[in-house]
Amino acid sequence: MINVVGAIIINDKKEILCALRSEKMALPNLWEFPGGKIEHGESHEKALIREIREELSCEIEVHQFVEDTVYEYETFTINLITYISKVINGTPFASEHAELKWVPIQELLTLEWAPADIPAVNKLLSNQIVV
């Protein structure tokens, strides 16, 4: 089981920052919420802040919990925990991902998502989360 956190980063236009996994990553060419592995003894919020700083070169603040999903891929199982987040310093830059894109919430399903991210996408689309 790989424990990871994902940031559902929202801007002032109510758009979500979506990250395209690169050819070098597992599950290439699928979209995801940026984030990464939780280190031993690290809180979800601290892990998310650290991962976004490392991956996107910006600072975020972490807000409300969205979804806790366990998904079994062919070669590994992931536990993805997502949170609404906001950029508070800097501009997101793709250093590991192939592309970053701001997408209106109602257009999220136009992207091909990594399966573990889909429950959080569906929750956003169902208006269960106030953004």
Share of the chain above pLDDT 70, in %: 98
Which residues have a Cβ under 8 Å from the Cβ of 10 and sit 6 or more positions away?
16, 17, 84, 85, 86, 131
Continuous segment of H or E residues that includes residue 88:
strand 77-89
Q: Which CATH number fits domain 2-125: 3.90.79.10, 2.40.50.140, 1.10.10.10, 3.40.50.11260?
A: 3.90.79.10
Could you tell me how far CA 115 lies from the centroid of its own chain? Answer: 12
pLDDT in tens, 30-63: 999 999 999 999 999 999 999 999 999 999 999 9
CA dist., res. 115 & res. 120, Å (int) = 10
Tokens of 95: 């250093």
Helices (H), 16-117: 44-56
CA dist., res. 5 & res. 36, Å (int) = 6
pLDDT at 17 over 80: yes
Supply the mean pLDDT for the chain.
95
pLDDT of residue 130: 65
Q: What is the mean pLDDT of residues 17-38?
A: 93
State the pTM of this model.
0.94
pLDDT at 128 over 80: no
Domain locations in the chain as residue ranges:
2-125
